[in-house]
Amino acid sequence: MNAVGIYEAKNQFSRLVALAEDGQETVITRHGRPVARVVPTAPATRVLGGQRGQFVIPDGWDEYTEEDDRLWYDGAVYPENENWGTELNEAIAQAEAARAVS
C-alpha cells in the first residue's frame, strides 16, 4: 500500500489509477493524515443465463403475421385517427409560434 500527499496525487493521478488497475491500493494524505483511497474495483460478475427461469417467452412471439404486414405496408399505425401527423405538425407550429412571441 502506497501513501501519497494530496498535491502529488493530483499531479500523478493517472499513475495512481494505473496502480489501482494492477491491484494496488494508494492512500491519499493531507498533512500526514489519510483522507482518501484509490483502490481497484471489484470485477463485474455477469453470469451467462443468470436470469434463466425468471421469465417466460411465449411461443410464436416472433412470428410475422398478416396484421404485421398490414401495419407495415398500409401505414395503419394509428387507425383511429388518420390525421395524426398533420395535427402533430400543427401543434408543433403553434408551440413554436407561441415561443417566438414570448
C-alpha to C-alpha distance for 76 and 67, rounded to whole angstroms: 10
Residue 61 belongs to some domain of the structure: no
Residue 23 belongs to what domain range?
Answer: 2-38
Residue 47 belongs to some domain of the structure: no
How do residues 15-43 score in pLDDT, each as one tens digit?
999 999 999 999 999 999 999 999 998 87
User: Reduced to 3 states, what is the DSSP secondary structure of residue 5?
Assistant: strand
In this prediction, residue 49 has a pLDDT band, given cuts at 50, 70 and 90, of confident
Indicate yes or no: pTM above 0.75: no
Q: Can you name the residues that pair with 45 across neighbouring β-strands?
A: none
CATH number at residue 28: 3.40.1620.10
C-alpha to C-alpha distance for 89 and 80, rounded to whole angstroms: 18
Q: How many domains does the chain have?
A: 2
Instruction: Find, among 49, 31, 42, 36, the residue nearest to 2 by Cα.
Output: 36
How do residues 54-77 score in pLDDT, each as one tens digit?
888 888 888 888 887 777 777 655
**In terms of DSSP bridges, do strands 26-30 and 2-5 run parallel, antiparallel, or are they unpaired?**
parallel
Residue 46 belongs to some domain of the structure: no
